[in-house]
Amino acid sequence: MNTVTDQDSEQLSRQLSRTGIWLLIINGMIGAGIFGLPGALSRLAGAGSTWVFLLCALMITPIMVCFAQMASYFRSTGGPIVYASEAFGSLAGFQVGWLYYLSRILSFAANLNLVIASIGYFVPDIMSPTLRITSAFVVCALMTVANVLGARGAMRALGTLTALKILPLVGLVVIGMLSLDVGSLLPRVHQAVAIDDLGGAIFLVIYAYVGFEGGLVTAGEALRPRRDTPRALIAALFVCAILYTFIQAVAEAALPGLGESTRPLVDVAAALIGEWGALIMLVAIIASVGGNLLGAMFSTPRMTYRMALDGNLPAILGRVHPRFQTPAVSIVLYGAVSFAFAASGGFVWLAGLSVLARLILYAVCVSALPRLRRRYGAAPESMHPPGGLLWMVLALIACGLLLWQVTLNSVLVTMACIAAGCLLYGLARYERRRAA
């Protein structure tokens, strides 16, 4: 049943427990978005906004179920790269990894600037050009070093940041439910029907649920990836759906002018708790984005590591540090390129790539499910949810509905990146044949 990509030929040390995988997935999903979404969503959907989080949870469910099935077939590093390569060949796998890598660099750069801007609330001088770039370098350097030194230390830091961002959100929900009329928190069906721009609202909110794929990339370092990764995926979806829905409900009830707020959850915390609540929520924002960055720094370099092992990138990116058992060269490369984009701000014109690249990744991997199911479905730990390939059909419909909202500029930028990826792939293959 095993293929080259599914062997234990990798040199990475298996240290990640189910909790570690869940931390990577949940930090990929809960980033900066949830702290700003309630206000923007309220402007689009009004009193029915709580329903949108529930609808988006239903839309993303078939996609995540498909990925959970595929994760139960493999135990090697790469996640989406492995799924696409095994079903459609190495070029498809390379393009999936290439687009994902680019999108993660851009989102890392944007989020890094957001962290610095948030810290600027407490230290205004940090937003001066020199201090901003210095701060970006320090954050990138610290995260790079932490990831090079080993998985355990990175997971401990990630666990701390996760607690610092989730506990204030849970506390906000609990305080809101105790101090507000519970009946006003419950969504009404007629409120959802009355939403004028439901498509726009869904397109806005759905990205609070994506980012989970980063946790699948690290299967080569998980203790029991085939069993633990699917469970971690479903648990993360459940936590996000419940948390997001109650956050929106509390925000709508606590802040009548929610749609006018530029910092909605900070203002909600101030309304419920006072000035201390606002400060705690600002710390939660910094921790949330920091956790997202640290998770990306851990998982994304594993993509270039995988592509190097497959012979599609220079072999040096596939080297593992002899002492720390981490893909140190790939980690340092990701940290350096991310810092360069964050310092220059030159990633703005490519912002559309992050959205479309993720949808392409989902559609390609979900389409791979029938072939992977036939080839690996008999493995002892493979997952077979009721409904069979109906999950794939529903997932592709969800991807299609979201792709309908993508702009022409995003399509053109992504096509250019795919063409560049084809060139890199061809050069790597040419060099490999010459070396042979």
pLDDT digits (tens, 9 = 90+) for 412-433: 878 888 888 888 888 877 777 7
pLDDT band of residue 66 (cuts 50, 70, 90) is: very high
Choose between 209 and 182: higher pLDDT.
209
Nearest residue to 296 (alpha-carbon basis) of 145, 147, 99, 193: 147
Q: Does residue 348 surpass a pLDDT of 80?
A: no
For the chain, give the longest Cα–Cα distance.
72
Separation between Cα atoms, residue 293 and residue 55, nearest integer Å: 27
Separation between Cα atoms, residue 28 and residue 288, nearest integer Å: 10
The label of the residue with tokens 């006018």 reads 260
Identify the weakest region by mean pLDDT among 9-23, 88-102, 181-195.
Answer: 181-195
Q: Does residue 26 surpass a pLDDT of 80?
A: yes
Residue 380 tokens read as 């002892």
Q: Does residue 228 surpass a pLDDT of 90?
A: yes
Separation between Cα atoms, residue 376 and residue 385, nearest integer Å: 15
Separation between Cα atoms, residue 215 and residue 73, nearest integer Å: 15
The label of the residue with tokens 């979404």 reads 37
pLDDT band of residue 112 (cuts 50, 70, 90) is: confident
Choose between 48 and 396: higher pLDDT.
396
Q: What is the pLDDT of residue 369?
A: 94
> Phi and psi of 327, rounded to 5°?
-75, 75
**DSSP letter string, 139-155:** HHHHHHHHHHT-HHHHH
Using an 8 Å Cβ cutoff, are 57 and 238 in contact?
no
Choose between 201 and 395: higher pLDDT.
395
- The torsion angle over the Cα atoms of residues 103, 109, 114 and 117, rounded to 10 degrees, is -160
Separation between Cα atoms, residue 318 and residue 422, nearest integer Å: 20
Residue 9 tokens read as 């030929």
Q: What is the mean pLDDT of residues 297-302?
A: 91
Identify the weakest region by mean pLDDT among 179-183, 293-297, 313-317, 392-396.
Answer: 179-183
List all residues 6 or more positions away from 105 whose beta carbon is below 8 Å from its beta carbon.
Answer: 300, 334, 337, 338, 341, 347
